[in-house]
Structure 1
Amino acid sequence: MDCYCCSGISFEKCCEPIIKKRASAESAEALMRSRFTAYCLGDYQYIFDTYATSQRSDLSVEALAKSAEDTRWFALKARPVSGTNNYVEFSAFYIENKKTGVLHETSQFVFENDEWRYSTGTIHSDTGMIKLGRNDACPCGSTKKYKQCCMRLIK
């Protein structure tokens, strides 16, 4: 099975070892991908654990779970910001209330206690609900039409 993060690599070789703490994320992008995958899996403890220490005081595992309870994440496009090793720009696609949306953010990561951690992010203005046509290419990168791929997730 391909990884939830749309890397084209199997889950077992991509994000699973990082989420299960058998390996550390080797880059900010790898951490971003594993956090997206954790949202797909509902692993809010992992998401909490990968926040920078300075960000955790205002968070809880329960609050993270509550904020995502009606959201189904299904596709990710992520890339490091050129010239940096601690910024990642991503577009994460989701389904909420039978509608498709995108979260477009540039995230900053810090290297803390020998591991990458999410620090903060700037949300881009094109974040929000989007219209994907049935015949548009699926944002997951499968090369299939949206109707033949992730649109089936809408229930």
Structure 2
Amino acid sequence: MRSRFSAYATAHYHYILDTYTKEKQQALSVEELASSAQGAKWFALKVHPTLAASSVDSTVNSLVNKPVNNSISNSVYANTNVEAADAEQNSKPNLNDNKTVVEFTAYYFENKSMYQLHETSNFIVEDGKWRYHDGELHEDCGKIKYGRNLPCVCGSNKKFKQCCALKNR
């Protein structure tokens, strides 16, 4: 997931295409990926705690914004606090599974406005490598207003106006 974000941020569209499943690669091209990302300046990524897909007996559609019972928290997908160690453990896919679910929020600037992309993604192992298959966008995607005096979303501990807002406008 993080490598795909970095590839978007640095415009390495060949890599992005290579990280799709073979089924999805057939319907995409490097040119289409470049065109869809044109003008976007990606600057921050937050990977949310999730569960491996094989440990959930339902589809991703039933997971998005709905509670999942587990021993860590009553609701991983709701906005609850999960201890850092548990969150880190749950954000890593189980390498014994052949699929996993990753929820993330990526931030970018386009035309001097800030946007967020909040998605729950499905990854599948093909040829021993994790590949992006598809994802479901959350309702909070799109243009956002972020307070200039709030801590920057990149995690720098600086005010937003003194960090990414300054660098990306």
Give the TM-score taking structure 2 as reference length: 0.71
Structure 1 unaligned regions, length at least 5: 1-31
Contact 1:105 1:122 in 2 (8 A): yes
1:136: Cα distance to partner?
A: 1.1
Please list, as runs of the form range in 1=range in 2, the aligned pairs for 1:3-152 lying within 5 A after superposition.
32-84=1-53, 85=93, 86-152=100-166
1:82: Cα distance to partner?
A: 2.5
Equivalenced residues, count: 124
Contact 1:99 1:154 in 2 (8 A): no
Structure 1 Cα separation of the partners of residues 163 and 49 of structure 2: 27
Give the TM-score taking structure 1 as reference length: 0.77
Taking every aligned residue pair, what percent have the same amino acid on both sides?
Answer: 52
Structure 2 Cα separation of the partners of residues 33 and 79 of structure 1: 12
Q: Residue in 2 aligned with 1:24?
A: none
Q: Residue in 2 aligned with 1:8?
A: none
Structure 1 Cα separation of the partners of residues 30 and 146 of structure 2: 32
Secondary structure of the 1:147 match is helix
Off by >2 Å, runs of 4+ in structure 1 = 82-85
Q: Deviations 1:20-74 (Å, cap 9, x if unpaired)?
A: xxxxxxxxxxxx0000000111000000000000101110001101111110000
Provide the aligned C-alpha RMSD in A: 1.1
1:153: Cα distance to partner?
A: 2.7
1:83: Cα distance to partner?
A: 4.6
- Seen in structure 2, the aligned counterparts of structure 1 residues 71 and 37 have a Cα distance that, compared at 3 Å, is same
